[in-house]
Amino acid sequence: MDYRGILDTIHAEVAPHVGVGRVASYIPELAGVEPAQFGMAIVDLAGGVHTVGDARVPFSIQSISKLFGLTLAFQLAGDTLWERVGREPSGNPFNSLVQLERENGKPRNPFINAGALVVTDMLCSRYTHAENALVQFTGRLAANPALDYDARVAASELRTSHRNAAMAHFMKSFGNLHNPVDAVIDAYCKHCAIRMNCIDLARAVAFLANGGTNPWTGERVLDASSAKRLSALMLTCGTYDAAGDFAFRVGLPAKSGVGGGIVALLPGECGICVWSPALEDSGNSHAGSVALERFTDLTGRSIF
């Protein structure tokens, strides 16, 4: 596969879309990010790295961290995790409280904020500093032990986390949060503030493209069946309430974040990350979504 030529074509075609949309200004520290940036990286399972644009610029991964938190929690809890978190698309914004009361405090899936808070609660029950455990785990997946979270972004997010705190208290009233709300919110804001670049993230998601085995260390992260199931959740729930349209346009398992990043994977071939901070109303990167759609068009590769 001529990834170099494909990336160059994508870069040229996506140029008119870069900067279209709005950055995630509800997190004050992200409000000042320059929207007219674009980077993309493909890391194949042999370790080949192919990049274009701002692929080496670090950014706040935000909700992409939910994928790594879910993976670590699944290692600890296995299928008992689904007793506390569902596996269905929500059809509502990622920070909505609407379904929680009707469904007795059980979030629809682990990729909306309520679900990620329950997953973080599971990590808090196991680790004294859940955010550090997740940073270290993600660093192993990305073959980058120097990863860390941005303390300024985490503090900025914590100051504006009232809706997340409301969801956490509500779920605690149903018995679906076991640790103090403040501790869970603190850990959640810190792991959303992990800083990575496109290369880091393309490497970090490659274990799912490799049937659950980390290609860089040989570590069995998940068994093949569990890797398949988490990839399926990415396809159906990973891009907020636009997951159906994203699957229709792109056809790859993906997880997005309001920092402008989207990770995706092509089973048996590669991990992919694209970053452009300006967002569609759904919270997905506009230029990033277009770039991934063009990737599957140009390569003829998708899961379908």
- Measured between its terminal Cα atoms, the distance across the chain in Å is 18
Active site residues: 63, 66, 188, 240, 258
Q: What is the DSSP string of 10-71?
A: HHHHHGGGTT-SB--TTSGGGTTS-SS--EEEEEETT--EEEEESTT--EE-GGGHHHHHHH
The strands making up 148-149's β-sheet, listed across from edge to edge, are 59-60, 194-196, 148-149
Residue whose entry in the numeric block shows the structure tokens 């939910």:
66
User: Which secondary-structure segment (H or E) carries 149?
Assistant: strand 148-149
Report yes or no: 117 and 98 within 8 Å, Cβ to Cβ: no
Tokens coding 256? 């997005």
**Locus of tokens 């988490």:** 230
Rounded Cα distance between 59 and 288, Å, is 14
